Amino acid sequence: MIVLAAGFSRRRGAPKQWVEIDGETLIHRAARIATEVGEVIVVTTREFADLEFRVVINESADEGMASSIRAGVAACDDDVLITLCDQPHVTADHLRALVSANAPIAATAYSGTIGVPAYFAAEFRDELLALRGDVGAKRIIEAHRDVVKAIPFEAAAIDVD
């Protein structure tokens, strides 16, 4: 399970991973919830002593989201579930639903779109590793709509910006 938390939050003007909700930073919240489902890799731009999860440093974060996806996928051995630290209402139950959907790709449906959090079977690793620039996993989801199982979760539409 990969938690993407290496963004610079340029629209917001300050790193949102450190925004607190109910006394917990977004990065800690996302990683804690993901841990309820499986092993967690947090992709960020620097080491943090207070994270109790495996941390992968994205040295190429300036490139955009694709570099974080590549860093996380490269650190995984098999299937991957990608989630973001800035969707504070994502639950462990929803992540479990994605993992257990029995589909090559299971993605979250909300607000008329489909995206992350999303699960990708190992057969999509090369495509995830080939992403470049400021694009996300949605590109892979859209390219393979015929095998995507959409799991509704409207609360995923709420992100911190």
Give the model's pLDDT for residue 161: 61
Q: Please give the tally of structural domains in the chain.
A: 1
**CA 15/CA 76 separation, integer angstroms:** 25
Mean pLDDT in residue range 49-76: 89
Peptide bond into 15 cis (omega under 30): no
Whole-structure pTM value: 0.92
Domain harbouring 42, CATH code: 3.90.550.10
- The range of the structural domain enclosing residue 150 comes to 2-157
Dump pLDDT digits (tens) for 122-157.
999 999 999 999 999 999 999 999 999 999 999 888
Helix (H) or strand (E) holding 2: strand 2-4
40 within 8 A of 78, measured Cβ to Cβ: no
3 state DSSP class of 89:
coil
Dump pLDDT digits (tens) for 89-131.
999 999 999 999 999 999 999 999 999 999 999 999 999 999 9
